[in-house]
């Protein structure tokens, strides 16, 4: 295909909005604990404000320091979509700033997840719109292309497909395949409720079962001694 590397897929298959919404109050850390603890993006990609990510991935694959396809994705994305930009982790040129963020907010998009950097940091901190990126740089981007929209991308060590569910909070960002979501919601909800019970008991002065520690140590062959100077 002559357009390989410079193409746009305008439509994606989005998960049901009710399914996405069920992740709203679930902490990213608890979700990851139920996904083998290997599903989060690189923690160098951090939130720039208090707004949390929750939505459907609308992916952009871009050359480092270029945001032409990012701009096009802004026009194509629909309400609730999170624009996920695979910018190669480049930190030399910002890929967006205050105007693009406010345009996305006006369109009621779900946020930005950028494997690159942004600018207009102070304005971003005040904005009620989720923005996650590697850092900031006042140098602006080029607009030359090429690039692709709505293809699988690599962001922060995770492969993200168009339509994947993205959840982000102050701990970080996690990627969920829609077909895994129903079972995962049940597991994480149960896990979350158990943690809340433990915390409530601790507040009441009720202890918790710590027997698993010695069990694990024994299984791994750890020897435990009372200290005596003569042993050394």
Task: Give me the pLDDT at residue 68, please.
Answer: 98
- 218 falls within a domain: no
- 131 falls within a domain: yes
Whether 25 has a pLDDT exceeding 90, the answer reads yes
> Which domain range does residue 37 map to?
7-187
pLDDT tens-digit map of 32-80 = 999 999 999 999 999 999 999 999 999 999 999 999 999 999 999 999 9
Q: How many domains does the chain have?
A: 1
CATH code of the domain covering residue 151: 3.50.30.40
Residues 221-229 have a mean pLDDT of 84
- 66 falls within a domain: yes
- 77 falls within a domain: yes
Give the span between the Cα atoms of 228 and 146, in whole angstroms: 69
pLDDT category, 206, cuts 50, 70, 90? very high
pLDDT tens-digit map of 87-126 = 999 999 999 999 999 999 999 999 999 999 999 999 999 9
- 13 falls within a domain: yes
Q: What is the DSSP string of 72-140?
A: HHHHH--TTEEEEEE-TT--SSBS--HHHHHHHHHTT--EEEESSEE--HHHHHH-SS-EEESEE-SSP
pLDDT tens-digit map of 115-145 = 999 999 999 999 999 999 999 999 999 999 9
């Amino acid at each position: 295909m002559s357009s390989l590397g410079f193409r746009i897929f305008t439509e994606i298959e989005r998960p049901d909005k009710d399914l996405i919404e069920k992740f709203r109050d679930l902490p990213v850390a608890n979700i990851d604990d139920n996904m083998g603890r290997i599903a989060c993006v690189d923690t160098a990609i951090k939130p720039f404000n208090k707004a949390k990510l929750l939505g459907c991935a609308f992916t952009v694959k871009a050359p480092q320091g270029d945001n032409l396809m990012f701009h096009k994705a802004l026009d194509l994305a629909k309400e609730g979509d999170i624009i996920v930009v695979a910018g190669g982790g480049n930190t030399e040129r910002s890929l967006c700033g205050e105007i693009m963020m406010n345009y996305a907010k006006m369109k009621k998009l779900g946020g930005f997840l950028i494997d690159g950097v942004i600018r207009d940091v102070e304005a971003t901190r005040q904005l009620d719109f989720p923005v996650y990126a590697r850092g900031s740089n006042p140098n602006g981007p080029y607009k030359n292309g090429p690039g692709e929209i709505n293809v699988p991308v690599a962001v922060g060590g995770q492969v993200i497909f168009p339509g994947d569910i993205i959840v982000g909070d102050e701990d970080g960002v996690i990627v969920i395949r829609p077909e895994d979501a129903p079972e995962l919601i049940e597991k994480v909800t149960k896990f979350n409720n158990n943690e809340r019970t433990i915390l409530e008991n601790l507040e009441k002065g009720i202890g918790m079962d710590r027997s698993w520690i010695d069990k694990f140590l024994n299984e791994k062959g750890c020897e435990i001694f009372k200290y005596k100077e003569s042993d050394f």
